[in-house]
């Protein structure tokens, strides 16, 4: 009986102690109301800010344009212009296969003039929007290409730097009233060259050079070794990289041809051409294949590369 009473009083005092402790916490909280309310307000503000950032990121992601490119040259420009307002899928990611492109759910497919019309119609018949850009054939066409591509991305300001680079290039300000201009011939595989009425011919004109291939017509024209020996151009432009920087002209030509050997390149290895290159006053310049194949889309680079190689020649000619 006595033990029961003892346990009763022990429980009573324990309950009373806990009640007193809770009342004390309340008094402390009441005595310092600003601390608890300030902490709660800060936590609420942080949570709201975090939610706002997350909502903004989700909204930006939802509004980001999804672009599919069907052209390797367009791939290059889009990769250079890449920014948070759009994402693009280059040719290497889908290979132009309609089922792969449809999985990407693009807002726009951008193709070039020489992409397959059958494939383009197939995309359109499946409800996919397709924009086809013309292949530029002049300086004005290249500027128009940049503007049209930037407009498709809904960011017209992206074209500004490229348009200015073309307009303000040293080539565009070259003196062109000289009565006697250095002559140039751009040699391609299988004895092809670019004649008149095209982008490369216009580039040569801006550089103050006479394009000898224009004598054989406009566009892509045939130019044989006999033509080269008869015309005797001051400058030969070849595709590829100059592999032997300190080698002779013939060694450099052989190296460039051998680096991508094919029957189509045999004319570059012909002895008569190699002998011609060794003549005094004949210069060979090189255009990387990745740029010559996309010259319109990489026109500012092409101008800079040719100008850099022609500068030593201009310096030599100005010396007494």
List, by residue range, all CATH 3.40.50.1980 domains of the chain.
Answer: 63-167, 179-318
CATH level 3 topology of 63-167: Rossmann fold (3.40.50)
pLDDT score for 33:
54
CA angle 197, 202, 203 (to 5 degrees): 145
C-alpha radius of gyration, the chain, whole number:
35
The answer to whether 126 touches 105, Cβ cutoff 8 Å, is: no
pLDDT score for 243:
41
pLDDT score for 202:
93
Q: What CATH number has the domain spanning 179-318?
A: 3.40.50.1980
Q: How many beta carbons lie within 10 A of that of residue 260, not counting itself? A: 13
Q: Quick one: tokens of 263?
A: 């029957």
pLDDT score for 13:
47
C-alpha distances in Å from residue 133, one per residue of 113, 148, 231: 6, 8, 37
Distance in angstroms (rounded) separating the CA atoms of residues 134 and 132: 7
The tens-digit pLDDT sequence of the chain (320 residues) is 444 444 544 444 444 444 444 444 444 444 455 555 666 666 776 666 666 556 554 555 568 999 999 999 999 999 999 999 999 999 999 999 999 999 999 999 999 999 999 999 999 999 999 999 999 999 999 999 999 999 999 999 999 999 998 887 644 554 454 567 899 999 887 888 999 999 999 999 988 899 999 999 999 999 988 899 999 999 999 887 644 444 343 444 444 444 544 555 556 667 778 888 889 999 999 999 899 999 999 998 999 899 899 866 555 555 55
Nearest alpha-carbon partner for 69 in 142, 152, 136: 152
pLDDT score for 89:
98
pLDDT score for 24:
47
């Amino acid at each position: 009986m006595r033990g029961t009473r003892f346990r009763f009083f022990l429980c009573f005092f324990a309950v009373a102690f806990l009640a007193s402790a809770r009342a004390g916490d309340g008094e402390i909280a009441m005595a310092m109301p600003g601390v608890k309310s300030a902490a709660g307000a800060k936590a609420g503000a942080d949570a709201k800010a975090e939610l706002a950032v997350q909502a903004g990121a989700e909204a930006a992601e939802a509004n980001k344009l999804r672009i599919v490119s069907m052209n390797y040259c367009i791939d290059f420009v889009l990769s250079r212009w890449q920014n948070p307002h759009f994402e693009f899928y280059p040719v290497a990611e889908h290979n132009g296969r309609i089922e792969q492109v449809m999985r990407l759910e693009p807002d726009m497919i951008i193709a070039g003039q020489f992409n397959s019309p059958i494939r383009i119609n197939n995309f359109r018949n499946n409800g996919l929007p397709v924009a086809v850009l013309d292949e530029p054939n002049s300086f004005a066409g290249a500027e128009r290409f940049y503007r049209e591509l930037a407009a498709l991305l809904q960011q017209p300001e992206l074209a500004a730097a490229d348009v200015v680079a073309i307009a303000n290039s040293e080539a565009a300000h070259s003196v062109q009233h000289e009565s006697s201009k250095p002559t140039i011939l751009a040699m391609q595989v299988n004895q092809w060259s670019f004649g008149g009425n095209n982008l490369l011919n216009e580039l040569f004109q801006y550089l103050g050079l006479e394009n000898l291939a224009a004598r054989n017509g406009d566009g892509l024209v045939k130019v044989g070794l006999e033509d080269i020996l008869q015309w005797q151009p001051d400058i030969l432009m070849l595709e590829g990289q100059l592999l032997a920087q300190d080698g002779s002209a013939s060694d450099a030509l052989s190296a460039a041809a051998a680096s991508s050997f094919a029957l189509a390149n045999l004319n570059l290895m012909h002895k008569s051409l190699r002998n011609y290159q060794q003549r005094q006053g004949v210069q060979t310049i090189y255009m990387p294949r990745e740029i010559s194949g996309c010259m319109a889309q990489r026109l500012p680079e092409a101008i800079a590369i040719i100008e850099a190689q022609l500068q030593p020649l201009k310096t030599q000619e100005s010396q007494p």
